[in-house]
Amino acid sequence: MTGQWRQNAACRGMPVDAFFHPDNTYGPTRRRLEDAAKKVCAGCSVRAQCGEWALTTREVYGVYGGLTEEERKQIRGRTTPSRHDPNLSTRIARMHRNGCTDREIGVRLGMTRDAVAKHRHRNHAPRRVS
Ligand code: SF4
């Protein structure tokens, strides 16, 4: 994991194992481990950046930004945007009106913050009059 935000991570100095379950761990044991990691993430000031990083780099394993690997997979599968998605502009505009930052929108939609900003500006730009 790289990035200046990492300096402020609540998990800094913690054992890496706290965020990665051992192989072949399922059911209640896995949930208990993931819940413990999520509790640390819940109080982390860089949670949004961490979650965005894990989604955009398609990090496969571990808990990042309070999201388990399964939750990230679901978010990516459910919301990976397509340029041809007719509802993408509406979804971004609605989240923006509700006060979400580009970063937060990106985390939810599996997009980078820059991609959200570009999409938003492109669609909100004044029409050219010729
Ligand atoms: S959100 Fe969780 S995994 Fe990410 S930096 Fe913070 S404590 Fe660590």
Tell me how far the alpha carbon of residue 129 lies from the centroid of ligand 1, in angstroms: 48
Tell me how far the alpha carbon of residue 71 lies from the centroid of ligand 1, in angstroms: 15
Tell me which residue has its CA closest to atom 8 in ligand 1.
11
Phi-psi region of 58 (alpha: psi -120 to 50; beta: other; left: phi over 0): left
Give the pLDDT confidence of 34-69 residue by residue, as tens digits: 999 999 999 999 999 999 889 888 888 999 999 999
Tell me how far the alpha carbon of residue 20 lies from the centroid of ligand 1, in angstroms: 12
The share of the chain scoring above pLDDT 90, in percent, equals 36
Q: What pLDDT was estimated at residue 112?
A: 77
> Is residue 85 within 8 Å of residue 109, measured between CB atoms?
no
Radius of gyration of the chain (CA): 17
Closest ligand 1 atom to residue 63 Cα is: 3
CA atoms within 13 A on the CB side of 18: 13
- Show me where the domains of the chain are located: 1-79, 82-125
